[in-house]
Structure 1
Amino acid sequence: IDQQDTLKDQYSYDGDDFLAFDDANMQWVAPVVQAQPTKRKWDGVQILNQYTKGYLEKE
């Protein structure tokens, strides 16, 4: 993987983007209002964010 490649952990629902992990800021991005409750919940679990960032960097 070179500097231009981007690693992503993202989720879709019914063909639309739902949640994506921003590894630079170690938080989830919710492009739709329906994802806000999940974003708040997942952002509150610091170990999940650390695990996700580590997983993306090592894969």
Structure 2
Amino acid sequence: MPRMSKKRKLEWQFFLTPRNRMTYNPLCRKCAHGCKQSFRAVVLGCPYYLSKRAKRKVHDTL
């Protein structure tokens, strides 16, 4: 596996583990979309992830 340059390490520092491996949030690991978040971030809401148990908001239309 090729090593990362200093510039790339600085860009991706939020995603790197102490072993310098790219790691994503458990919700984002198998997601096909490009909005992946770091394992350090707390996911409050993802536009592509809807749990079956989540309560959906009902929008009233006039």
TM-score by length of structure 1 reads: 0.25
Higher helix proportion, which one? Answer: 1
From the CA coordinates, give the structure whose radius of gyration is larger.
2
